[in-house]
Amino acid sequence: MVSLVWDVPNGASNMPPVTVHLLRDGKPFRTITIEGGSLEGSFDGVPKASADGRGYTYTVSSNTVPGFTLVGITGSAEAGFVITNRAGEHDGMLNVRFIDWNGVEIDAQQVPFGGSAKPPKDPVREGYVFAGWAGSYQNITRNAYVYAQYDRMAPNGEFGGDYIFDAMLPLAGGAVSNFGDCVE
């Protein structure tokens, strides 16, 4: 049995998966992934001894979890192993980057695991109205990119009507697609 302990700020949820390696006599034997929401995993059907009766020694190791520091692995094969991860403080901070329509970074913030970034002031783009942010900047569990979204104004300055979006891309043979919106 392998148990996970998460040392995280209050309110943090949505823990990442953890890959755990079972070593038999110091050599890789099996691997399991414990989903972050689950706190336990098991290496079922592991033999205690070889066919000639020689007992095996089992230990575990864990992959590094982004945004966390591995505090330690305690326990034994008989009692079960406990893997403790702590939300990082300095080098374990996660990055949230807010990106404008042209790929320019508007803002970058560092937040602890489970923390939230504060969106910057709404960006301005000529001929468009800011429509919001695409991507999550709350309860961050990994580095994130958040993209500015815009609605294009029609020639009369209002929204809607028949106009072509900037997302159109030429395809082979000269056809044009705009990802599902019909333009007639």
Q: For residues 69 and 73, what is the distance between their CA atoms, to the nearest angstrom?
A: 12
Classify domain 2-87 by CATH architecture: Sandwich (2.60)
Low-confidence stretches of the chain (pLDDT < 50) are: 90, 161-184
pLDDT at 176: 43
> 23-26, long-range: CB within 8 Å, 24+ apart, which pairs?
23/58, 23/59, 23/60, 23/61, 24/56, 24/57, 24/58, 25/56, 25/57, 26/57, 26/59
Note the pLDDT tens digit of each residue in 129-165: 999 999 999 988 778 899 999 999 877 666 554 444 4
CATH 2.60.40.1140 in the chain, residue ranges: 2-87
CATH 2.60.40.4270 in the chain, residue ranges: 94-177
Q: Are 85 and 4 in contact (CB under 8 A)?
A: yes
Left, alpha or beta for 157 (phi > 0: left; psi -120 to 50: alpha)?
left
pLDDT at 132: 95
Classify domain 94-177 by CATH architecture: Sandwich (2.60)
Q: For residues 74 and 139, what is the distance between their CA atoms, to the nearest angstrom?
A: 29
Tokens of 16: 């990442």
